[in-house]
Amino acid sequence: MVDDTARGRPIDLHTHSVVSDGTETPAELVAAALAAGLGTVAITDHDSTAGWAEAIAAAEGTGLTVLPGLELSTQLEYASVHVLGYLVDPADADLLAEMSRIRQERLGRAEAMVGRIAKDYDLSWADVIGRAAPGATIGRPHIADALVAKGILPSREAAFRTILNWRGGYYQPHRAPLPVTGVELIVGAGGVPVIAHPGARGPSSLFDDRKVRDLVAAGLAGLELHHRDNAPDRLPRWRAWADEHDLIVTGSSDYHGAGKPNRLGEHTTDPAQLARILERAR
């Protein structure tokens, strides 16, 4: 999977394209990864593997390795928990069905949020859906882009601080499976599950020894300990769990193109840890 040309160059295992809420096509994402000097980039769109073929084709002959993955939406109590899944079988029936269900849930939820926003602002569902790539996994960033296009707010950042914030008055969660179910689905599809940004403020405090043990028993392989959303005061417990269960430790940018300030390669994964991911895939 990782060839010699990629050796020695940075490894970034979490990025998004227009297949979900990134702003670049998979081919543009690959071009950006090359320009950033990466050796390996994982494409991990939310709840979709639809960008893989284009990204892999774009990287052919460039010396950049594309690691195919996804970021599966799961839900623990009131919080979203994201589970990265590397090297899943994209044709696995159970995973396909769940991804499709989640995308559908996200669509209904976004439309409901827009319905509420439209009572107070000049925004329609057509403004939102008309700007998204066909079949894209729809999220709040697409609503943000429409708010920006209509001149209502200056940026995604501003939208997440105000109208789209969970306390903003328009927020609605979307249904998703439990984290343990997400891990099982990824393992069932032959892939390698890694909890994304586990130390992020929202969900981090919902985990305890027992929940982590259950995830490991279900096949959890790793933790994304190097990520800008991990709160420094939350990291020690996750590091301890990584040691206790001998989990793979990854680092990534969570690049969304122009949609977020995150820059490619701002956090990276050690080659030995990537090797563990490749060994673990079936």
Q: Which residues bind ligand AMP (CB under 6 A)?
A: 21, 139-141, 156-157, 160, 256, 259-260
**Cα separation, 213 vs 146, whole angstroms:** 42
Q: Which of ligand AMP, Zn ion, Fe ion, none binds 196 (CB below 5-8 Å, type-dependent)?
A: Fe ion
92 lies in the binding site for Zn ion (CB under 5 A): no
Q: Which of 10, 14, 21, 25 is close enough to bind Zn ion by CB under 5 A?
A: 21
- Residue 145 sits in the site that holds Zn ion (CB under 5 A): no
For ligand AMP, the closer CB: 65 or 252? 252
Q: Which of 191, 254, 196 is nearest to 16 (CA)?
A: 254
Candidates 17-25, 77-85, 167-175, 267-275: pick the segment binding Zn ion (CB under 5 A). 17-25
Quickly list H helices, 60-132: 93-117, 125-129
Measured distance CA(99)–CA(49) in Å, rounded: 9
Site string for Fe ion, 104-133 (x = CB under 5 A): ------------------------------
User: Measuring CA to CA, which residue among 24, 78, 15, 13 is closest to residue 46?
Assistant: 15
Q: What does the alpha-carbon distance between residue 252 and residue 19 come to, in Å, rounded to a whole number?
A: 19
DSSP letter for 22, please.
-
Antiparallel, parallel or unpaired: β 192-195 and 79-86? antiparallel
Q: How many residues does this entry show for the chain?
A: 282
Residue 178 CB, nearest distance to ligand AMP (Å)?
17
For residue 227, how many C-alpha atoms fall within 13 Å in the half-sphere facing its CB? 27
Q: CB 7 → ligand AMP: shortest distance, Å?
A: 30
Smaller CB separation from ligand AMP, 65 or 137: 137
CB of 26 or CB of 259, closer to ligand AMP:
259
Does 72 bind Fe ion (CB under 5 A)? Our answer is: no
Query: Footprint of Zn ion on this chain (CB under 5 A)?
Result: 21
Query: Footprint of Fe ion on this chain (CB under 5 A)?
Result: 71, 82, 196, 254
